[in-house]
Amino acid sequence: MKLGKNFFLLLLGQSLANIGDILYMIAVISTIFSLTGSATASSFVPFTITLSMFISSLLTPLLLGRVNLKWLMAGSQIGKTVLLVILGFVLMVITASNYYLLFLIIGLVAFLDGCANPIRQTLIPYYVKQKHLMQANGIFETATQIVQAVMWFVGSLFLIILSSQQLIWLVGCLFVVSGILLCLLEDVSYKTTEPKGKLEQLKEGWKTLYNTPVLRMIAWLDLFETIAGTVWIAAILYVFTSDALHVDEKWWGFINGAFLLGMIIGSVYCIKYYSFIEKRLGIFIFGGSFSSFLVTMFFSLNTIPFIALLLSLLVGVFQQVKNIPQQTIIQSSVSKEALSTVYTSLGAIGTGIFGVGSLVMGILTDLLGVRSVFVFSGLMLALVSTIVYKNKQLFVKNVFDK
């Protein structure tokens, strides 16, 4: 499997950045909670991140074509490093009366992340041949999920031996190494068309989504799947383990861990059998979405903790078995030059809907009960599988000349 030096530089640089992101998040949430004693204040951290990433996804197209993609990626990481250094000094003077300064820094870091994420997805087809796209996406997803699964567990242990400020300095070191690795990437030949006005640049990705049938379908799938996925946020899953399964907090962690393990298994499966899957992309996208619907419905009705673990693992597996082929279709459905604006538009849909959906699901959980929102999630996934089935002829891999 020859994916090339640039792919592995991108993979390692992004993995170090992801490790740093989780450790920084643990340090910030711990600091805010220790200063305020308020879970509500801590919960505004993910809300701030989602809002900033949504705004970033809308504005990033203004930079595309003006800044080299590689330097846009590396520059965002360097910017995050500078912000982390500032955060380290802010933690020296932070008190309960001025902790809101932390949210300003969190928002700026998330803004840069919102710019970097679609660029990272766009760079993969530049550095990897078309025939290796499925493997490359699978490896990236596997690395991301392993980092998520390991670092949320290990990260909390760091706070036993390090203060929040020391943890931030550690993250700063990781970000420096990540930035250096991303600077070592080869430049990509990003062709631009005639100069466009700012409004045209902002609309470009949305127009591509609308004018490309398979991308238009994927945008709808992302919308409904994001709504469905909001039931798996920590707050609602915590209520489910307590009110529906009647078990203690450790099961909350077990179910979260099983979900992440399932995503890793699904990613590894896609890497191992990529050639088989590539010939049947539509079948796997439909199978993954339909299986997720069935498993989610079973999960909503289940009362046995061990079965909940198994079902959570299966949701993770089927989610990746659908998502990785879907990424391959996105990357092969338009020219590489159009990919960055497509990903920023899809990112705006995902972050915007997730922010609103999380709030709505929380309210519905209080009003209707936690089992009801999982049933609703299952129905959303049933709608997704219906859309895929009715448009299965669109879900094929295309080939654009490099």
Distance between CA atoms of residues 171 and 165, nearest Å: 10
Give residue 340's pLDDT.
Answer: 79
- 262-284 core/surface letters (b: 16 or more CB in 10 A; e: else): bbbbbbbbbbeebeebbeebbeb
Say what the pTM is. Answer: 0.77
Which residue(s) pair with 67 in the sheet? 64
- Whether the per-residue pLDDT at 365 is higher than 50: the answer is yes
Give residue 402's pLDDT.
Answer: 44
CATH architecture of 1-184: Up-down Bundle (1.20)
Per-residue pLDDT tens over the stretch 102-149: 889 989 998 998 888 888 888 888 888 877 888 888 888 888 888 887
Other CB atoms within a 10 A radius of the CB of residue 238 amount to 17
Q: Which residues contact 121 (CB under 8 A, 6 or more apart)?
A: 327, 331, 339, 343
Question: What residue ranges of the chain are covered by domains with CATH 1.20.1250.20?
Answer: 1-184, 198-402
DSSP at 392: G
Residue with tokens 């340090």: 27
How wide is the angle at C-alpha 375 spanned by C-alphas 372 and 379, nearest 5°?
Answer: 140
Are 308 and 255 in contact, with CB atoms under 8 Å apart?
Answer: yes
Per-residue pLDDT tens over the stretch 252-300: 778 878 888 898 899 899 888 888 888 888 899 999 999 999 999 999 9
- Whether the per-residue pLDDT at 46 is higher than 80: the answer is no
CATH number of 198-402: 1.20.1250.20
